[in-house]
Chains A and B, each alone.
Chain A
Amino acid sequence: MPGATYYLPRDLHPMAWWVWALGLATAASRTTNPWLLGLILAVAGFVVVARRGEAPWALAFRMYLYLGAVVVGFRVFFRLVFGGGEGATIVLRLPEIPLPEWAAGIRLLGDVSAESLLGGFYDGLRLATMVVCLGAANALANPKRLLKSMPPALYEVGTAVVVALSVFPQLAESVVRVRRARRLRGGDGRRFHALRAIVIPVLADALDRSLRLAASMDSRGYGRAGTVDPRRRLATGALMIAGLLGVCVGVYATLDGSTPRVLAAPMLVLGVVVGLVGFRAAGARVRRTRYRPGRWHLPEVLVALSGLTVAAALVATSAVDPTDLTPSLMVLSWPALSWTPLAGVLLGALPAVLAPPPEPALGRVPA
């Protein structure tokens, strides 16, 4: 039973939103049925609108929608340009451009059939839906908090990425400042000479800044190794490298049918296990704690489950009754729709109600 604190505004664990979004994306990858894809899009959009915050990344969802539209447009456009003749219903007759012999198999323009255009549209829509699902995850989960919830062994990498991300706005700021200053000396910022006048102060500035940041991080205890005896460090290193090698061999063997099967799946599993043990050991020697770590409570479980259910529903349908999920392109007809996948996808909209609302943006409080 959800307690009184269930609906208090808070940011969900970013992982929950990612699992939900990947569930939707997996579902989308299983079908080309435009009704289902449209429904997935609608579900993703609905949840985003209901549960996103006011941060800049949350407002970038629109960009993903544009990107999706571009993807669909391109798919259809390619069918127009590179031969869309398969099918009986010709809707457009374009003059075919003859190509030299070495380009056999490629057709430029020519007749365009409705079936082939529709195929392009379905394909593009599927890809666009997957893109939009990832966009939804990005809009709902703070990307920096996702980096923060990485396992301790990857802490250093996470910090490096966070620092690098904050460097870009600074760099842009300093370019603007130096360019403006350049005008004070009468430069117009066009000639090559002027490029140097901008690049050198900006780089000098960036170097100064990074040195000061490094000094600050050092004096605040970043990378305090504590006392780890070198033998243990060697052991974890060896475990991780052995694990990686195992994974490489396993992947190679799985993809290449001619290698003995013993090297395939068993090797892959063994590699992953050894690697994880190394990972664990590496993480365990890091004496560091996390301030207000992301918590994994009931709402997180429900959100993740709803995404997984959508994926499961479509995967199951594709095994039992695949025709509804991939409408025929041989005969032009309205694609049919059955209840099971429809209901499955609709479950994905539950987080709009089940997830607590996000925290209001404190950054907007006036000074």
Chain B
Amino acid sequence: MIELDRVSFWYHGQPEPVLSEVSLSIGEGELVLLAGRTGVGKSTLLGTLNGLVPHFTGGHLDGEVSVDGVSTRSRPPREFAHLVGVVGQDPLAGFVTDTVEEELAYGMEQLGVEPPVMRRRVEETLDLLGIADLRGRALRTLSGGQQQRVAVGSVLTTHPKVLVLDEPTSALDPTAAEDVLATLARLVHDLGTTVLLAEHRMERVVPFVDRMVYLTGDGGVVDGDPAEVLRDTPVAPPIVELGRLAGWDPLPLSVRDARRRAGPLRSSLSVPARPSRVDGAELLSVRDVVVRYGPIVAVRGVDLDVRAGEVLAMMGRNGSGKSSLLWAVQGSGPRQSGRVDVDGVDPTSMSTVEARKVVGLVPQTASDLLYLDTVAAECAAADRESGAAAGTCRSLLDRLAPEVDAARHPRDLSEGQRLALVLAVQLTAEPRVLLLDEPTRGLDYPAKSALGRMIAAIAAEGRAVVVATHDVEFVAAIADRVLVMAEGEIVSAGPTARVLGDSPAFAPQVAKILGPDWLTVAEVAAARPAEPR
């Protein structure tokens, strides 16, 4: 179905090729995962499949890409609309019309499909994806998971042979992510669609895929059975790391397989001793906070306490009020009633300059905070804004992410580096409490563990850290305590092991395999009896 014949690709003005001499042959009905570190060219490789690369992006492509026997060399992307369906990273940005039904029909209108056929396919697709009850809704009012499914539906209506998805689950809560993946698996099984997807958060995807293509970063690829490819890649989900640790061969990819093998490992481990709670002084205290937008109540009388040196994770589905609560605590967002107390002061009562010295917030789109041309200029501005000694921000940045080139444009940095820059900018003001909203989006496993180390270091300085995230594995690795929100209320709160271990939706993979006492591979590694492998 898809043939790549010695494909190399350069962006203009860059000496190193993004892809070099890549040859792949993907058959009909395969579900293929594209993995690799951030910036190795996963999106580029996906873009070559319908000719967006190089027709839309520019750059130089050598070799031949063909889909269903048609080469992308001679034809623009629009001539592939009936063959290849592309769903981008941010589905909302790709929507052309404004209601679900019209969006599903849009692609067919362009192809000139007959109206009765269009009508039938729209209805079929609504049912196939389970979104029939959303048909008249405005696209902007949908939740992330719903938008993602509509985006998949909108390219399915033209009956493409190949479906290409760029990070389809990275912005979704665990349940919505499962929904989208189940939908994709169904397409592969029922319709024989070939699906290619790139994903950083592989733990949920790996059990579904038939084949894995790992981009090594020097332009080459490793192609093969997921269990084989994952044997020694630097990006690996916890289940694989556990398998490597235990020396399982072949590597189990689903929780079910791993569980069957886990008996001996489980019995060899002694239950880990966790400090029951962080014993710093109470730093942040939130009482009865209410946030509402007109008739919609986002946060419904929430109480919250965080101690110095503690890392608290907030979870809950999209739109459950996590972000609104963070903004209300920082004092920049609306808050209709309730008290926030940080070490005796309320950030809302202070000027913005003073407030950020008490509570710092890194918002979901961290790049909103950056507006200057170079990293150096951003750092200098941060020092000025906080009244800190010159060089403070830069030294923080060096600690968080060494070797960030001072002359580079912040927008050209990798996701992880940009996040580190924003963190450094916010930490320059030395806030006692640091709030992070969805920081792991677009980060690969090594970048995520680096972020985890940054957060641990910040907490160790006696600050309190609150992280809102969907990423279960990340929470398992960093948090002391977890609270789960729904409908603007706290539905469960407690030590990480208890909250995550209890819940079927939020349990990390290691807990699913070894039982609720174990959360991360690192814990297992530490508790293993020292024996030669």
What residues make up the interface of A, taking CB atoms closer than 8 Å to B?
Answer: 144, 159, 162-163, 166, 169, 177-178, 180-188, 196-198, 200-201, 204-205, 208-209, 212-224, 287-293, 361-363, 365, 367
Contact = CB atoms under 8 A, between A and B. Distances in A.
Contacts of B368: 177-178, 181-182, 201, 205
Interface stretch (B135-143, B189-197, B458-466): B135-143
Interface string B366-387: 0111110000000000100110
Contacts of A197: 371
Judged by DSSP, the binding face of B is helix
B98 interface: yes
Contacts of A169: 140
B137 A219 contact: no
B304 to A, nearest CB: 20
Nearest to A223: B78
B119 A220 contact: no
B96 A163 contact: yes
A197 B382 CA distance: 13
A11 to B, nearest CB: 11
Interface string B85-112: 0101010011111110110011111111
B122 A224 contact: no
Interface string B336-358: 00000000000000011101100
B332 A216 contact: no
17 contacts: A180-B333, A181-B363, A182-B369, A184-B426, A185-B369, A186-B356, A188-B352, A209-B93, A213-B93, A215-B88, A218-B52, A218-B76, A218-B77, A222-B78, A291-B105, A291-B108, A291-B118
B158 interface: yes
A224 B109 CA distance: 11
A184 B158 CA distance: 45
A201 B112 contact: no
B141 A218 contact: no
Interface centre among A200, A201, A361 (most CB of B within 10 A): A201
Interface string B432-453: 0000000000000000000000
Given A187-B352, A218-B77, A287-B112, 9 more contacts: A178-B368, A180-B332, A180-B363, A209-B93, A218-B76, A221-B78, A289-B115, A291-B118, A292-B115
B82 interface: yes
B32 to A, nearest CB: 19
A201 B367 contact: yes
A169 B141 CA distance: 13
Contacts of B367: 201, 204
Contacts of B114: 289
Contacts of B82: 221
B110 A221 contact: yes
A184 B369 contact: yes
B50 interface: yes
B352 A219 contact: no
Contact of B98 (A144, A196, A212, A224): A144
Contact of B84 (A166, A214, A219): A219
- 8 nearest CB pairs, A to B: A362-B136, A221-B81, A291-B105, A216-B94, A221-B110, A181-B368, A186-B353, A212-B93
Contacts of A187: 352, 385
Interface string B34-63: 000000000000000010100010000000
Nearest to A288: B112
Contact of B119 (A178, A200, A222, A292): A292
A184 B363 contact: yes
Nearest to B373: A200
A99 B367 CA distance: 60
B137 to A, nearest CB: 6
Nearest to B100: A362
Contacts of B94: 212-213, 215-216
A289 B96 contact: no
A219 B133 contact: no
B329 interface: no
Contact of A220 (B146, B155, B352, B382): B155
B80 interface: yes
Nearest to B327: A180
- Identify the interface centre among A182, A217, A291, A362: most chain B CB within 10 Å of its CB: A291
Nearest to B384: A186
B425 interface: yes
B102 A291 contact: yes
Given A162-B97, A362-B135, A289 B78 contact: no
B109 A293 contact: no
A184 B93 contact: no
Contacts of A222: 78, 96, 110
B429 interface: yes
A292 B117 CA distance: 11
Contacts of B80: 219
Contacts of B101: 291-292
B520 interface: no
